Structure 1
Amino acid sequence: MTLNQLRAFALVARLGSLRAAAAALHISEPAVSSSLAALRVDLGDALFVRAGAGIALTPGGRALADHAQEIVGLADQVRWEVSHAQESAANLRVVATAGFAEHAAGRLLDAFTRRVPGQAGGIDVVVESADDVGSLLQDHAYDVALGARPPRGSQLEVVPFLRYQRVLVAAPEHPFGRRQQSLPLAALLGEPWFTGPAGVEEFTAESGWLAAAFLASSLGVPEIVPLSSETDALAAVRAGEGIMLAFMHIVRAEVLAGSLIVVPVPNTPIAGLWCASTLDRGRAPAAARTLQRFVTTAEATAAMLAPGGSRGVARRGSKVHVALWS
């Protein structure tokens, strides 16, 4: 059994196709078939069978799939850490979901670096979608995830740390801004709903609310208009161009001042929860577990809810390096 064989099998199991795995590995399909044939002989199991246009894993294949990607991911992590040991020792790799990244990540990590000084490599922060977080952690691409809870079923230790509320807001001069009574959902379909670049992400409280409010009642889907950040989306709302689901703690001062109006809509505010996730059973690095504990402290909560200051990154795939205080 070799790493190349496990890598090929892990991709076939994930993508459901030898052709797709070959394309991802930039090798020929016969080369993938040869690796899998050797793995089958070594393990004494067919691992998968052809099923329609794809494959179906055997019981033995499912057992191997549970471990193959983790083994490959750990090997890649070790290879990277060894090759970069001198210049980036002890880097903490953080993946954050979009809303948390834009509105809280910077302030939280600023507070963390002051509380836990001396880590040589600092912290790298990357934004990814909520539905990818679990697999990225299991692939050892990142050490800890902050923000929306990963999909259930992942082999992760998930620690909730901050409850938030989303409210629908509009400008005072917007027709909805003058509404005193609850607005019927059908009335919202003709309005553009501004969001950050990630839109309304799956596996979040917001996506659950939209599905229950609109899709379940067969009303259709609101017009979602992603902008470069939620800050830009809020600026468009202030200009009277549409509405958005905003974090209440972000817009509270403007709501109290009357420069933004909370639109009364059934089943709002939407209650959500931010979580810190790592690999379970002690497989996460010590620095990741330290950050996971820190986010539950009063100091961390105060930092995340404080106005102003460094916030973080907003675009998917963009990366920020946070230097730790010495």
Structure 2
Amino acid sequence: MTLSQLRTFALVVRLGSLRAAAAELGVSEPAVSAAVAALRQELGDPLFVRAGGGIAFTPGGRRLAVHAEEIVGLADQARREVAETNGSTTSLRVAATSDFAEHAACALLDAFTRRLPDCEVELVVSDGAALGDALVRRAVDVVLGPRPGSGGFDAVPFLRYQRILVASPDRPLPELSLGAALRQVWLTGPAGLEELSEEGRWLAGQSAWPDLVRFPSETEAVAAARAGDGVMLALGHVVRADLRHGTLVRLPVPGTPVQGLWYATLLGRGRASAAARALQQFVTTPGATAAMLAPPGAAPTAPRRPPVHVALWS
């Protein structure tokens, strides 16, 4: 089997169709079929069968998919690391959930690149449920945010946060109970309430799920809460000034505030790059904490680095 065949099969599994894999690779569908056919012949397994207008993978096909993703990711990592030995810079791909990316990631990574000026960082903003898979596929080197599920990861907690239920002082609850709060409109950022986060798990354990209104950013959701459009489970350090000035009030319903931890997660068993390990060590330092919790607009203590490259995953 070849790396090209494994890359093709990994795409078929991820996208769920030969046609989609062909479009992603920029080749014809027969070329994708030929690559899969070669794997079928060599391994003696059909890998997938046609089912219900789509494809269903055999146990052997699912097992191959896991190895194919890791082999392709490892090959891509090796290619990057060898290329870096011929240049003066190191690349690092960091994935984060939207809330961490909005409130802390850029300040953190800016502080990190001051320590390692030859490291170029790409920040990918993604749904939390996809981050563990991205690590396994080596699509990213580090995940920042909620701890991904099981997968042989090395996760280090680095920042404790709390989410406080807040609302406009002009929109009080009829009673300070969780039931009354759940009957309100809840305002959130683009990801809603992440399933892997402590606040997502807390809310999933309640008797009802509130109506969520998602905004393009948590900053816009906070503004809507100030305007009286609903309640919000906001990060405590983000709304501290609002609470002090009285533009928002805390709703002390049972179960809140919700305490959580953000983690820096790498591939375990020594599979992470040196730059990834350096970032994981840096996030636990006082300098990193100060950068993440600094109020918006705080002046940096050193000349600015070029901006961190930011990408979005659909």
Report TM bin, short chain. 0.7 to 0.9
2:5 is matched with 5
Alignment pair present for 1:167 and 2:129: no
Matches within 5 A, 1:25-174: 25-50=25-50, 53-58=54-59, 60-79=60-79, 89-114=89-114, 116-117=115-116, 119-150=117-148, 152-174=149-171
Is contact 2:110–2:308 with CA below 8 Å preserved after alignment?
no
Is contact 2:106–2:308 with CA below 8 Å preserved after alignment?
no
Structure 2 CA distance for aligned equivalents of residues 170 and 49 of structure 1: 53
2:303 is matched with none
The structure 2 residue matched to 1:203, chosen from 196, 200, 207, is 196
Is contact 2:113–2:119 with CA below 8 Å preserved after alignment?
no
Aligned with 2:70: secondary structure?
Answer: helix
Aligned with 1:32: secondary structure?
Answer: helix
Matches within 5 A, 1:169-248: 169-176=166-173, 182-186=176-180, 188-189=182-183, 191-213=184-206, 217=207, 219=208, 221-248=209-236
Amino acid at match of 1:54: I
| CA RMSD across the alignment | 2.9
Structure 2 CA distance for aligned equivalents of residues 47 and 139 of structure 1: 19
- Taking structure 1 as reference, are residues 224 and 120 closer, same or farther at Cα in structure 2, changes over 3 Å only? same
- Taking structure 1 as reference, are residues 187 and 169 closer, same or farther at Cα in structure 2, changes over 3 Å only? closer
Structure 2 CA distance for aligned equivalents of residues 158 and 187 of structure 1: 34
1:314 is matched with none
Task: Show CA shifts across 1:254-287 (max 9, x none).
Answer: 3244332111323211122101011111111101
Task: Show CA shifts across 1:117-156 (max 9, x none).
Answer: 4x42432222111111112222222211111222x12232
* Fraction of identical pairs, as percent: 58
Is contact 1:106–1:310 with CA below 8 Å preserved after alignment?
no
Structure 2 CA distance for aligned equivalents of residues 88 and 128 of structure 1: 29
- Taking structure 1 as reference, are residues 321 and 5 closer, same or farther at Cα in structure 2, changes over 3 Å only? closer
Aligned with 1:273: secondary structure?
Answer: strand
| C-alpha displacement of 1:74 | 2.7
Is contact 1:81–1:89 with CA below 8 Å preserved after alignment?
no
| C-alpha displacement of 1:6 | 0.7
Which sections of structure 1, spanning at least 5 residues, go unmatched? 312-318
Aligned with 2:232: secondary structure?
Answer: strand
Structure 2 CA distance for aligned equivalents of residues 100 and 281 of structure 1: 26
Task: Show CA shifts across 1:57-86 (max 9, x none).
Answer: 23x434422211111123334445667876
Aligned with 2:71: secondary structure?
Answer: helix
Is contact 1:196–1:233 with CA below 8 Å preserved after alignment?
yes
Structure 2 CA distance for aligned equivalents of residues 29 and 257 of structure 1: 61
Amino acid at match of 1:252: R
Structure 1 CA distance for aligned equivalents of residues 150 and 26 of structure 2: 30
- TM-score, normalising length from structure 1? 0.81
Structure 2 CA distance for aligned equivalents of residues 44 and 211 of structure 1: 44
Structure 2 CA distance for aligned equivalents of residues 112 and 183 of structure 1: 43
Is contact 1:185–1:265 with CA below 8 Å preserved after alignment?
no
| C-alpha displacement of 1:157 | 1.4
Structure 2 CA distance for aligned equivalents of residues 88 and 27 of structure 1: 34
| C-alpha displacement of 1:310 | 6.5
Is contact 2:142–2:264 with CA below 8 Å preserved after alignment?
yes
Is contact 1:196–1:228 with CA below 8 Å preserved after alignment?
yes
Task: Show CA shifts across 1:84-107 (max 9, x none).
Answer: 876773022211111111111133
Structure 1 CA distance for aligned equivalents of residues 272 and 239 of structure 2: 36
- The higher-RCO structure (CA 8 Å, 6+ apart) is 1
